[in-house]
Structure 1
């Protein structure tokens, strides 16, 4: 076989050639040591060759592990010159010696070890004046003897091994190798295996002489290179289908940049509201302001803010046109709802159901549950005579299609809805109710300046797209779902979203 790696080719030839005259290779490590004399190949080359030959059944191999204790550099020094404690003992004369004089005979690090071990063995007495021997002689330097035994590959007890290991005088060397025998397809030389039937084979007429690689019917096919839908897109598709089934019409949401007028003022949100501060909103530098606003409608909005109307007292402040002109990245898709309701008011009235699912932007600190951009789901119904009961009924219908049938509602405050309700759904996984959205009826101060009839009401609700997606796919950090840190494997392997089924009700 023509191998792109010449070392492996040499190693394969050596293994197959040896097995031609011998029943087995007991240890590939020893076999490699014999071949390593010429420096051409090492054990890694032999191991790679054995693995390849095993895969093609030229050989049968078993992995074997050998362990061997080796002396460290410090251990080699002690084996040659003796242990520090023995050298210290021999350096002490019978009459004793001062510690200062004794220390001059050793390196500082060796002296410290020698003193500690000699004291531990009760060989030496470190007095105030002199260092003296406690015993007359030591017949055997046990540490040196043990190290020499290991150096000569002789056995020692486990207790001695632990003691030498603790002093870092020996280290365990673990080597992995193979024992190798001939395999079912053994041959002295590897044959070239054909993997495909080629035109040249047919032209030569020697197809019968070729050895073809047997097909592996259990092998996985090549992974598809097609695109994959993001989990957010899968959940978005399911939610969009629910809206369409309920007869809603999708609003155009391609305006990421909005004016403060449509994002705040048209929604009867006062200009001094905290949400309009730069700490909560991304304002644009270029272009910083808009020049396209319906002037007659702007004047009606200004009047309702300053002095009220339609049985409202307004906010009683000086409304500033320059604030309304400021461009920003929309903070909610309700800015699109205000545009759509204004356009609806310019025509003879007809009831409408609108929905949108798209991106919004808020200047928030990023953490595991918050991003500076996320997706908002919004639905609204515009018709005559709608009440809070209609809103509750629609919400129960909508969320039941998501697999959430146990809802509770809590009064809340929104600048542009009255009454307003927070929506809570029972989460079986948490064993409690969790907030899943916000809702309300648009205020007359928002609707009547647009020109809608007085008996027309608008009910609306909204929720995020990320929260149900994270629950559905078991993701607890929003940065793992959306943004530059998302693992592409998650995109490729996540299952189809099937919202509303019994199995999902356990999760939502």
Structure 2
């Protein structure tokens, strides 16, 4: 409802299985990045590879990884198609964002606001703040003349509508955004600042091979659905919110959200 109030349209996220190309390569994430190995990613055994990719776009992505372009030096390694073909359980819904932006680049440009809320998968240890599968909320704005100030303003607007008015930003690194910022919200229950999301401006190395105009920029952010819920309801263990030990009294004791159409 918040995204709709802010003028966003929903992205289709109905496919949990994605290729490494859309999940990593199209986002200018190098093939030797540690997040791509089996320690962080669930790869599929059957079907292990994708059958179709847009060949002209694949070639441009290969070029930007290997030797750069558009003012970039690239990564300077031998990009392998067999790595890009591998199927996996998507590690983020940004894989869908890359598909949407590529489709947008094939038409006369128009500014867009996209969002998605759906499940993603990470092969990592379960603890008080981490799960192997969780729900990611993602928003992006594609337009001309956007700046880091626009991103911070949108984030304050978005999180304030969630009831989180205390935000801090910390410089971060992402392969596909520059500059990048981690988002922290104050957790009243834990009495400390907790990371609630990540954000940034998509890099030219990601956008220009798609065919988007050079003066178009994209600001984006992502967060888990579970962590803001923990902050709002004072929960300090994510396993109390999601899983087979959930206390259903939390649902019974809180008002239902009714949306009028």
How many angstroms apart in 2 are the aligned matches of 1:435 and 1:482? 18
From the superposition, tell whether residues 357 and 494 of structure 1 become closer, same or farther in structure 2 (CA, over 3 Å): farther
Deviation of residue 468 (structure 1)?
Answer: 1.6
Q: 1:326 aligns with which of 86, 105, 121?
A: 86
Question: Offset at 1:474?
Answer: 3.4
1:429 and 1:368 map into 2 onto residues whose CA distance is 14
Residue aligned with 1:281, SS: coil
Partner of residue 358, structure 1: 118
- Does the 8 Å contact 2:163/2:232 carry over to 1? no
As a proportion of its length, which structure holds more helix? 1
**Corresponding residue pairs, total:** 257
Alpha-carbon deviations, 1:207-236, whole Å to 9, x = none?
A: xxxxxxxxxxxxxxxxxxxxxxxxxxxxxx
Structure 1: distance between partners of 2:167 and 2:245: 34
> Displacement, 1:469?
1.6
1:450 to 210, 227, 240: 210
> Which of residues 486, 493, 496 is equivalent to 2:246?
486
Q: Does the Cα contact within 8 Å between 2:168 and 2:184 map onto a contact in 1?
A: yes
Question: Are 2:42 and 1:282 aligned?
Answer: yes
1:376 maps to 2:141 = no
1-structure distance, mates of 2:227, 2:166: 18
TM-score (normalised: structure 1): 0.49
The structural deviation recorded for 1:497 is 6.1
Matching residue of 1:460:
220
How far 1:491 sits from its partner (Å)? Answer: 6.4
Q: Which has the higher strand share?
A: 2
Match of 1:270?
30
TM-score using structure 2 length: 0.94
TM superposition shift of 1:282:
0.2
Structure 2 gap ranges (5+)? none
Gaps of 5+ in 1: 1-240, 499-508
- State the Cα distance separating 1:293 from its structure 2 match: 0.4
Q: Output the CA distance in 1 between the equivalents of 2:100 and 2:253.
A: 36
Q: What is the root-mean-square deviation in Å for CA atoms of aligned residues?
A: 1.5
Write out per-residue CA displacement over residues 59-107 of structure 1, whole angstroms, 9 at most, x where no aligned residue.
Answer: xxxxxxxxxxxxxxxxxxxxxxxxxxxxxxxxxxxxxxxxxxxxxxxxx
Measure, in 2, the Cα distance between the counterparts of 1:446 and 1:366.
32
| CA drift at 1:270 | 0.1
When Rg is computed on C-alpha atoms for both structures, the one with the higher figure is: 1
Larger RCO of the pair (alpha carbons < 8 Å, separation 6+): 2
Query: 1:415: which partner in 2?
Result: 175
